[in-house]
Structure 1
Amino acid sequence: MTDAVHPAGAGPLPTASALAAGFADGSADPVAAAERSLAAVAAHDPAVNAMTQVFAEEALEAARVSADRWASGRPLSPVDGVPVTVKDLFLTRGRPTLRGSTLVDPAGPWDEDAPAVARLQESGAVVLGKTTTPEFAWKGVTDSVLAGSTGNPWGAHLTAGGSSGGSAAAVGLGMGAWSIGTDGGGSVRIPAAFTGTVAIKPTFGLVPIHPPSPYGTLSHAGPMTRTVRDAALLLDVLTGFDARDWFALPRPTGSFLDGLDDGVAGLRVAFSPTLAGTGVNDPEVEAAVRAAVEVLAGLGAEVEEVDPEVGEVRDAFETLWFTGAGKVVEPYGADALDRIDPLLAEHVRRHAGDTASDYLGAVDIRMRLGATMGRFHERYDLLLTPTMPIAAFARDRDAPAGWPEDLWTSWTPYTYPFNLTGQPALSVPCGFTGAGLPVGLQVVGARHADRLVLRAGHAYEAATDWSARTPSVLGP
């Protein structure tokens, strides 16, 4: 697709890459970009409820300062001035981080930026505000007692997914060019698939996290964007060692843009329409994903349909997830479970009796899965799956109508296994259902193969036009 800079007020907000290029050559202006993003918030947020806080005055002032830096030839980085939003799970100095919960005291103190937010500030990016999350980011849709529910750019009556649903909706509707989210079991990829946007869960440790997530090494932070190129560009900003995160990897050498245009010819690619015997529930989703796989094969990838045989890992994931969730609410007092999302409380109580042996048994399953996928990627460079087995369903629900259970892990079988393994996994738009709802293709690579994952996603995106489609909330 072409990254064209539209004149102010015309068409969707340009991509971050287009804005950065425009700032550099003088054809775009950080102040106009911030104004346009804030106008999108005013126009669309009443319908979708993606924002919890909007920093309008601070953002406009930061954009003016950025414009001055560009005018004097002293930008802080290539993305100086690009407007961004931040999931309300990341610490932001001087602003409350409420994590979607009434348990958190808004008084703070709020005297520290999370590593990802600090990198954005250092780059000169203009932070517009913070986006919605379910309580403590615990589930695959975005609603909370604190902030209400978040709708989808392709229909405000539909869920945007979660837990980074606010970020996905904001990106899809031009409330900033990109956002940062967290992913503990699919939380950037689920909403990306539901909203027709792009998101990558990078290799664990690549984007440092502080304070440590109570969900432990399941939790990743990553870019949420409109294009794969933007995701690579944002990864360049977010990655790098931070002493506060003892899992943080060293800063990568080179850029994630390096080799992005090298294509997929000769890559050994596995396509698995099921994982652990779990199949796609929506035939339109399966058809779109299979068509996407054919596109990559037509670009020269050597594709084979094969199941990586990940085994049954849902119970192990839930043991790790809900014992972590129990630790989240523990500091808030004996009655905390009576004051949170009732479904979260139900599952925390269900796992309250898990023993150390139960936890270590889940860790053992996780380690065996990691070895399985490590061996798998000795044979295959990439694994393709649907991101989601279904399209977006009704807002204010925990699962689709008529689904056999409400728990989010029952309808996200393709995402959480790769939080267990820490592998990079990208969701890229690959089509629409007959009802006009987006479908996502998931591209998974071996640990540390983030550039290869981005390269394949970009090759597919460049050969199609799905990422250029305008959400229905924006009109034709």
Structure 2
Amino acid sequence: MTAPHSTPTAPAASGSAPEPYALTAAELLAAYAAGELSPVEATASVLDRIEAVDPRINAYCLVDREAALAEARASEERYRRGAASGLLDGVPVSVKDLLLTRGRPTLRGSLSVAPEQDWDEDAPSVARMREQGAVFVGKTTTPEFGWKGVTDSPLAGITRNPWDPSATSGGSSGGGAAAVAAGMAPLSIGTDGGGSVRIPAAFCGVFGLKPTYGRIPLYPASPFGTLAHAGPMTRTVADAALLMDVVTGADSRDWSALEPPRAGYRAEVAQALAGGTLAGLRVAYAPTLAGAPVDGAVAARVRHVADLLGELGAEVEEADPGFRDPVEAYHTLWFAGAAKVVEHLDAERFALLDPGLQEVCRQGAARSALDYLGAVDERMALGVRMGRFHETYDLLLTPAVPITAFEAGVEVPEGSGLARWTGWTPFSYPFNLTQQPAATVPCGTGATGLPVGAQLVAARHGDALVLRASAVLHAALCAEGVVDTAPVG
């Protein structure tokens, strides 16, 4: 582990400017505008970083150097002409390989998806980034169809943690989180159906946001239904706000999408950082939910966050929402979605799937319509409970994950006795059931030297509140020197 430092970018040699790959998106845009750096230089730096680091991490399943440099040259020409206008003009980004990306295959970590087909459409978030001038360096890894909370697949193999390549990056957006943590693109867009942005953000020491369901349009509609969200993974909250201002744009292909927000998230975060206080916010601190065990070092780091929120002006009270673990309802909805994903496969192609995915698909196919509707009832009751809870509290603070990253290549920690990934993610999937905005804020390291994340949850539509509070908290943690960058490379 490298020595802690107060800035959220990768460290540079003493007395030297940071390499372009180490800059945040906001820093890159400022350097472009000032003529101090070109999009081609920044993109080449990121691509070189991928070439140097990714053989150990396996965060990317596709890198298109030629296409990325062509996009960067087009951006550089716009800057030269004084015509740069996009919010992400020239910024290297990565896209999880569940989201359609025009001109590049989206194989979803599966040997069952044929690469030989027309890839002529962008997912809504990808389309919005393209419109704003982003440079697409590649597609990041996912477990097959995003089905579990770690990232390995029959197609791409195992994605590893930049802090310790023997450990998992988490999942299912593990490739994106690892890429951001290791300086292999400052921005990544992922998906979160049960923690898939927040889990790898915690394990890799980056910021990750699952916004309110519908805030970021999705197309095609997820077979996992309204559990599935898209969200940013970044090194700073300001960068996440920037990406949110881009990807929350309207798209007619998602009938369930919310109206784009009127106020910009960047402005909200900038104002919060300028003020530097959380005075007036009411925060419920829950050391655990439904009695789930929490590693002692993780618990200590999250308790420190609770204390720090109080120092920043918030009214913090230890309080539990009081719900029982909704894992069975979640399993019914999630496993049924998995079965729907693969229902078109014949026996030969079904046999190519991850064995764990095969198992949950069989379980999902065995659930009845009444089972499904019963799970929906439990989901609705949980939503009512959380709605009432947030009449008293603006935010709920919990651990993001109750443990730090464990060995790569397995679904559950060895010796844990757990059957499925949901056994070690009790703080994430409940808020997919309720569709609430929730963020992982990196808050230091545990006993093994691997990152710990704290989770901030707000009522539905409270995305700006989560970003504002996260920004002020993250700045304070950076000032303390407890937030570091991945030491890989």
TM-score of Structure 1 vs Structure 2, range by shorter chain: over 0.9
**Which residue of 459, 466, 469 corresponds with 2:484?**
469
Task: Tell me which residue corresponds to 1:277.
Answer: 291
Contact 1:240 1:249 in 2 (8 A): no
Alignment partner, residue 370 of structure 1: 383
What is the alpha-carbon distance in structure 1 between the residues aligned to residue 7 and residue 426 of structure 2? Answer: 34
Deviation digits for residues 281-330 of structure 1 (CA, Å, limit 9, x no counterpart): x1000001101111111011000001111223100000000000000001
Equivalent positions of 1:102-251 (< 5 A) are 102-251=111-260
1:339 aligns to what? Answer: 352
Identity across aligned pairs (percent)?
56
**Equivalent in the alignment of 1:289:** 302
Picking from 311, 314, 318, the partner of 1:305 is: 318
Q: Which residue of 1 aligns with 2:281?
A: 267
What SS does structure 2 have at the residue aligned with 1:259?
A: helix
Q: Is the 8 A contact 2:458 2:465 kept in 1?
A: yes
Tell me how far apart the structure 2 counterparts of residues 412 and 211 of structure 1 sit (CA, whole Å). Answer: 26
Q: Shift in Å at residue 20 of structure 1?
A: 1.4
Mapped partners of 2:117, 2:383: distance in 1: 39
Residue 338 of structure 1, CA deviation: 2.0
Offset, 1:108: 1.8
Q: How does 1:44-59 map to 2 (within 5 A)?
A: 44-59=53-68
- Per the alignment, in what secondary structure is the counterpart of residue 345 of structure 1? helix
Q: Does 1:96 align with 2:110?
A: no
Q: Which whole-Å CA distance do the structure 2 matches of 1:259 and 1:183 have between them?
A: 23
For residues 121 and 214 of structure 2, the distance between their equivalents in structure 1, rounded to whole angstroms, comes to 20
TM-score, L = length of structure 2:
0.94
Tell me the TM-score normalized by structure 1. 0.97
> Alignment partner of 2:386: what SS?
helix
Aligned residue identity for 1:397 = V
Deviation at 1:67, TM superposition (A): 1.2
CA deviation map 1:13-50 (0-9, x unaligned): 10111111211222222111101100110011100001
CA RMSD of aligned residues (A): 1.6
SS across alignment from 1:179: strand
* 1:185-227 deviation line (CA, Å, top 9, x unaligned): 0000000000001110001001000000000000000101011
CA contact (8 A) 2:342 2:350 kept: yes
Distance 1:259 1:92, change over 3 A: closer
The residue that corresponds to 2:336 in the other structure is: 323
User: Which of 259, 264, 280 is matched with 1:255 structurally?
Assistant: 264
Q: Which amino acid aligns with 1:362?
A: A
Q: Give me the whole-angstrom Cα distance separating, in 2, the residues matched to 1:432 and 1:467.
A: 8
CA contact (8 A) 1:429 1:440 kept: yes
> What is the CA distance between 1:279 and its match in structure 2?
2.9
The amino acid across from 2:405 in the alignment is A
Query: Shift of the alpha carbon at 1:433?
Result: 1.3
5+ unaligned residues in a row in structure 2: which ranges?
1-5
How far apart are 1:397 and its partner, in Å? 1.1
2:3 match: none
- Deviation, 1:12, is 5.6
Distance 2:264 2:482 in 1: 23
Q: Does structure 2 conserve the Cα–Cα contact (< 8 Å) formed by 1:381 and 1:446?
A: yes
- State the SS of the aligned residue for 2:48: helix
Select the residue among 435, 438, 441 that pairs with 1:428. 441
> Displacement of 1:74 after TM fit?
1.3
1:145–1:287: structure 2 CA closer, same or farther, 3 Å change rule? Answer: same
Q: Which runs of 5+ in 1 are unaligned?
A: none
The CA deviation string for residues 86-145 of structure 1, in whole angstroms up to 9 with x for no partner, is 000111112110000000010122111100110110000100000000000000000011
